[in-house]
Chains A and B, each alone.
Chain A
Amino acid sequence: MTAVTTKRAERRDHHNPNQLSRTGLIVRGIVLGAGALLFLFPFYYMVIGSLQAEVDPTITGAFPNPGNLTLDNYVAINSRINLLTGLVNSGIFTGGVLIGTLVFALLAGYALAMLQWRGRGATFALALLVQVVPFQLLMIPLYVLIARDFGLADSYLGMILPFFINSTAVIIFRAYFLQLPKELFEAARIDGASELRLLWSIALPLVRPALVTVILLTFIGPWNEFLWPFLVTKEAALQPLAVSLANYITTISASAANPFGAILAGALVLAVPVVVLFIVFQRYFTSTDIGSGVKG
């Protein structure tokens, strides 16, 4: 517990600025401001574009024009790809991965940090290695296995399987559990508590920030994933929103009255859940956590 508190204090410390000259400060401000503008403008443009009745790509089109505002684009995209179905499918896909990760990555992270057993070091090395395995190596064999051999094409299980347990989550859980005082656990063990009980009633309440970080990080993966669900789902009723929107962009958008407006409306619906979740919980998305996740 002490370790966790110290870490927080340190983190706050880093926010203190070093002494900066006035020009240094101004240069920094300009660099950061210009950067932020470049990063946020496309998102602003997505909102504006999705509300335009007539597509207006000119410079004035970047400003809201009350005479040209409409929600028709949302109706248009919803009539071509069912947004609700897409959202539900994305939700099931993401939810499946979240359940798998929260249960099994938590167990593995606990075992790696708190228990001594043969193969512990090798398992941890494996969790690190898995993160640099490029998907292009796995794409063909996974497709052959899951879609062809197991017949899991067009099923939620087939979508979820390759992402079921997030290795970064294993490493983040391990890092957090390692900070907990071992004595607490030894004492409870002597009192006869089972490991599952220790994990559930002692360890878990102490690592709540890790839970939020892992949920956030794990959510982003499958919700935004395109390639894999695109490969295994051909049936529109099962496609996550990212896949159905991509199919709309490549095939049917040409026949729409205002294709850009409809595409941007769909993009907004796809983007909003993650962006909102991220903004609400952004303080858990910190360099220390993710850094430890990537570097071990």
Chain B
Amino acid sequence: MTDTISAPASPSPVASPADGRKTRRRGGLLGKHPLGLLFSSPYLVFVLAVFAFPIGYSVYIAFHDYFFAAPGAQVERPFVGFDNFVAAATDPAVIRSFGNVGIFLLINVPLTVVLSLVLATALNRITRLRTFLRVSYYVPYVTASVAVVAIWLFLFSGNGFVNQVLGPLAPDPSWLVNEQLAMPVIAIFVTWKQLGFYILLYLAALQAVPKELYESASTDGAGGVRSFFSVTVPGVRSATVLVLLVSTVTGANLFTEPYLLTGGGGPNGASTSPVLLMYQRGLQQGQPDVAAAIGIILVILVLIIAFLQNRFVGSDDE
């Protein structure tokens, strides 16, 4: 089958004179198949309109005295330099929210990496119940945050199931209304919710670890734990870099959980996230310029963290 097809379709563009002329005529400014650009143009327009332009617009808003006006009204929105950034960076609520997301990331990111790698490794080498286990780990990931938040709200409420099980060990004040515990509960919730996705990434990476490495490790007398640390962990390093990056970016986007689980970032702002604050400042209190500045500061911090993670975890690859 392959032979009969490949004979006339020689990869050379000048297979026959007619063919060659055609290719040269089409192979101008836009390449051999200009139609490709036409096919991709809706997607390109979409990316420009929904990603590229808004990112630029965000920077514009953050550097101007931007406020909402009636549609069509001509209003003056003067350039104000770094004023919005200063306003954001000196606001105690903003500083607190960055601290909160820092606590969140310190709990969520390491827990995510460790648990997803351990579970993926365990899942990788079993045959029985594999589908059942896979599905149970992915179900929280595919379910709407709003729906699973509702369950956790019930489980972790004052006289909820978790406290009933703990009995006298239940924390007082309870989990979600406790300033010290609200953010850790959210971090654990998000770890639980997203873990399936990271298990999926690690399962893909584990397929690429050569089996011979495990065999030679076991002939050298390494046990399961030993070969996990000396073969598996280094073998999936590039996936670990990806998991670190994605979980950090996702964590910095935290909104739904503090909004619903702790009633809008409570208690006393102990679980307010920067994105929640952007919503409150920008859309509820009409300061989109300060909110845009918070967003830009947050993205810069995330980029720095991602760079450091890549530096310390990913560097040995090269």
Binding site for B on A (CB under 8 A): 14-18, 20-21, 24, 27-29, 31-32, 35-36, 38-40, 42-43, 45-46, 49, 57-59, 61-62, 103-105, 107-108, 110-112, 115-120, 123, 126-127, 130, 132-145, 148-149, 151, 161-162, 164-165, 167, 170, 181-184, 186-187, 190, 195, 220, 223-224, 226-227, 231, 242, 245-246, 249-250, 260, 263-264, 266-268, 270-271, 274-275, 278-279, 282-283, 285, 287-288, 290-291, 294-295
Contact = CB atoms under 8 A, between A and B. Distances in A.
Contacts of A167: 47
Interface string B160-191: 11001100000000000000000000000000
A263 B224 CA distance: 45
B204 A137 contact: no
A5 to B, nearest CB: 14
B249 A141 contact: no
B253 interface: yes
- Identify the 3 closest CB pairs spanning chains A and B, nearest first: A186-B9, A291-B204, A117-B36
B145 A137 contact: no
A282 B134 contact: yes
Given A108-B43, A249-B153, A140 B291 contact: yes
A263 B35 CA distance: 51
Contacts of A245: 146-147, 150
B139 to A, nearest CB: 6
A136 B143 CA distance: 22
A245 B278 CA distance: 22
B30 A36 contact: no
B118 to A, nearest CB: 7
A14 B207 contact: yes
Q: Please classify how large the interface on chain B is, using the bins under 10, 10 to 19, 20 to 34, 35 or more.
A: 35 or more
Given A57-B164, A133-B51, A287 B143 contact: no
Contacts of A18: 125, 211, 214
Contacts, number: 333
Contacts of B203: 287
B190 to A, nearest CB: 14
B151 A136 contact: no
Contacts of B46: 104, 164-165
B221 to A, nearest CB: 13
A104 B43 contact: yes
6 contacts: A58-B164, A115-B39, A126-B44, A134-B252, A249-B150, A287-B200
B142 interface: yes
Given A117-B30, A134-B299, A231 B249 contact: no
B44 A136 contact: no
Given A40-B136, A111-B40, A290 B204 contact: yes
B31 interface: yes
B263 A264 contact: no
A234 B265 CA distance: 21
A226 B9 CA distance: 50
Contacts of B152: 42
Contacts of A43: 139-140, 143, 151
A170 to B, nearest CB: 6
A266 B31 contact: no
Contacts of A57: 154, 157, 159-161, 164
B95 interface: no
Contacts of B123: 32
Grouping DSSP codes into helix (H, G, I), strand (E, B) and loop, the A interface class, with mixed when no group exceeds half, is helix
Contacts of A161: 50
A132 B145 contact: no
Given A35-B137, A104-B43, A148 B68 contact: yes
Interface of B: 2, 5-6, 8-9, 29-37, 39-40, 42-44, 46-47, 50-51, 53-55, 57-58, 61, 66, 68, 71, 118-119, 122-127, 129-140, 142-155, 157, 159-161, 164-165, 192, 195-197, 200-201, 203-205, 207, 211, 214, 224, 242, 245-246, 249, 252-253, 255-256, 259-260, 263-264, 274-275, 278-279, 282-283, 288, 291-292, 295-296, 298-299, 302
Nearest to A17: B125
Contacts of B8: 186-187, 190
Given A31-B122, A136-B295, A274-B142, A119 B37 contact: yes
Contact of A263 (B124, B136, B145, B150): B150
Given A36-B137, A46-B151, A183-B2, 11 more contacts: A15-B127, A31-B118, A32-B129, A42-B148, A46-B147, A57-B160, A111-B40, A145-B57, A167-B47, A227-B275, A291-B205
A294 B239 CA distance: 11
Contacts of B119: 31-32, 35
A226 B204 contact: no
Contacts of A141: 53-55, 57-58, 61, 292
A147 to B, nearest CB: 9
A138 B58 CA distance: 7
A48 B204 CA distance: 35
A285 to B, nearest CB: 7
B201 A287 contact: yes
B299 A144 contact: no
Contacts of A139: 275, 278-279, 282, 291, 295
A238 B153 CA distance: 26
A260 B152 CA distance: 11
Contacts of A282: 131, 134-135, 138
